[in-house]
Amino acid sequence: MNYTAQEVAEWMVKEIQFKGTLQQEEAIAYVKTHFGEQHVFVNERGNTSLTKEVKSAFRKLHRGKVAWDRDGFFWAWT
């Protein structure tokens, strides 16, 4: 099945609402396995990241209710 960036973003928001946080490493592993490799990429620093399309859809969905913790590499409900 071909999932959209919107569907990935919806899963992320639901996870954060349910658990309070979502580790980046956990999110990337889940997205790769359940939504497909097309939603992740390796950035210029060699780190695996979510695509710009997923991040954009995610920001539109949570509308500022989720914060990124740079030190802990996770998102959290605010």
Q: Is the pTM of this model over 0.75?
A: yes
Please report how many Cα atoms fall inside a 13 Å half-sphere around the Cα of residue 78, on the Cβ side: 9
**Which pLDDT band holds residue 66 (cuts at 50, 70, 90)?**
very high
Over residues 7-14, mean pLDDT: 98
Q: Tens of pLDDT along 18-52?
A: 999 999 999 999 999 999 999 999 999 999 999 99
| pLDDT at residue 54 is higher than 90 | yes
CB 49 within 8 A of CB 41: yes
Q: Which CATH architecture has domain 5-77?
A: Orthogonal Bundle (1.10)
Q: What is the pLDDT of residue 1?
A: 80
